[in-house]
């Protein structure tokens, strides 16, 4: 008996994490009839004298930002990790273990303009951000085994400053979510001698129903196993271990597809769409990373409108993730908002 994934409650397997997600499509079978609230967002000035990320302004540590013209990177004034932390371990009992963790946290200002987002920036300026991501990964990867590039956009994602910016955290350990992906991709490669994510990208291109947008080198899909309502996965179509492997054509086409995707997000509910996004590439470790494929996750919290958020509560916190809107429907809605 073939399962009708459009009507029956079912679980989908995430081969990248080894976990499952419960999908309840019968709760969203009806056509989109929810009210679309119009949220009027205040227009920000191009320069805010009170913003600690704008050019020339004073930061919390007493230093002044340079009069930067494109991007600007500095050590986070409130870093979660510190480079001079000594390496120590606590192992009093098998159930009571801890270790100190040196690292470094930096802020990446995408633009000197206070009023822009990545979606509103020119493709050339987005490419400059891509270049900075690559430079930071290369530099910090020489000293730490994991470099996490990410952006929290919008107040819903806990962003304390609307100036367009992201972060990079580097530490000398492989974090939990990355470790899952490392084990799953390595296992798949050992069993098939192929990349899990390249095989997955090929399957999605053939089927098409979850493809949001693609160009010569990049593919964006709503993953078959997505947890968040409008979650997307950004993949290169060619083998690439890390951001540092990107050549000039890859960088330009990445900037182009990022702009298209982020505009589609903004058009979904006619607001500056909040999300958390981040890059996962092969960690800088001695053991084999042949199974790895570079990719980026986009996790937006909105569910049915600009003001209705998806919460992870109850069953999701105590059992496993659950979603109502099938990824196939989410992909279609995002495609409808694509520019050019």
Active site residues: 165
Contacts of 179 (CB under 8 A, 6+ apart): none
Tell the residue number behind the tokens 């600690």, with chain if given. 52
Taking alpha carbons only, the member of 227, 214, 219 closest to residue 200 is 219
CA of residue 336 relative to chain centroid, distance: 21
166 is written with which tokens? 């992201």
- Rounded to an integer, what distance in angstroms lies between the CA atom of residue 298 and that of residue 274? 10
Tokens 């990867």 correspond to 141
Contact 122, 115 (CB under 8 A): no
Cα–Cα distance, 215 to 291 (Å, whole number): 24
Token code pair at residue 262: 């982020």
Token couple for 322? 């659950």
- Burial (Cβ within 10 Å: 0-12, 13-18, ≥19) of residue 62: exposed
**Other CB atoms within 10 A of residue 171 CB:** 20
Residues 338, 205: Cα–Cα separation, whole Å? 18
């Amino acid at each position: 008996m073939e399962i009708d994934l459009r009507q029956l409650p079912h679980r989908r397997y995430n081969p990248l994490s080894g976990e499952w997600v419960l999908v309840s499509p019968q709760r969203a079978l009806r056509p989109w009839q929810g009210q679309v609230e119009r949220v009027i967002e205040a227009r920000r000035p191009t320069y805010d004298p009170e913003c600690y990320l704008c050019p020339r302004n004073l930061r919390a540590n007493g230093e002044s930002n340079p009069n930067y013209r494109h991007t600007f990177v500095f050590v986070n004034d409130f870093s979660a990790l510190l480079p001079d932390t000594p390496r120590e371990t606590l192992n009093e009992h098998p159930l009571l273990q801890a270790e100190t963790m040196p690292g470094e946290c930096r802020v990446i200002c995408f633009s000197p303009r206070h009023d822009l987002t990545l979606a509103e920036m020119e493709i050339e300026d987005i490419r400059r951000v891509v270049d900075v991501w690559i430079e930071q990964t290369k530099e910090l990867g020489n000293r730490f085994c994991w470099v996490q590039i990410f952006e929290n956009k919008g107040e819903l994602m806990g962003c304390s400053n609307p100036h367009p910016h992201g972060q990079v955290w580097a530490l000398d350990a492989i974090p939990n979510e990355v470790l899952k992906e490392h084990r799953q991709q390595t296992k798949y490669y050992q069993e098939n001698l192929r990349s899990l994510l390249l095989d997955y990208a090929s399957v999605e291109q053939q089927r098409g129903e979850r493809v949001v947008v693609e160009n010569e080198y990049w593919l964006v899909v709503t993953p078959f196993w997505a947890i968040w309502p409008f979650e997307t996965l950004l993949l290169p179509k060619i083998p690439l271990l890390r951001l540092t492997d990107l050549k000039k054509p890859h960088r330009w086409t990445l900037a182009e597809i990022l702009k298209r995707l982020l505009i589609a997000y903004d058009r979904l509910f006619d607001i500056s769409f909040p999300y958390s996004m981040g890059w996962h590439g092969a960690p800088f470790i001695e053991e084999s990373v042949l199974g790895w494929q570079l990719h980026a996750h986009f996790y937006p919290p909105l569910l049915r409108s600009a003001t209705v958020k998806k919460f992870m509560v109850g069953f999701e916190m105590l059992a496993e993730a659950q979603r109502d809107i099938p990824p196939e429907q989410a992909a279609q809605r995002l495609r409808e908002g694509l520019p050019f």
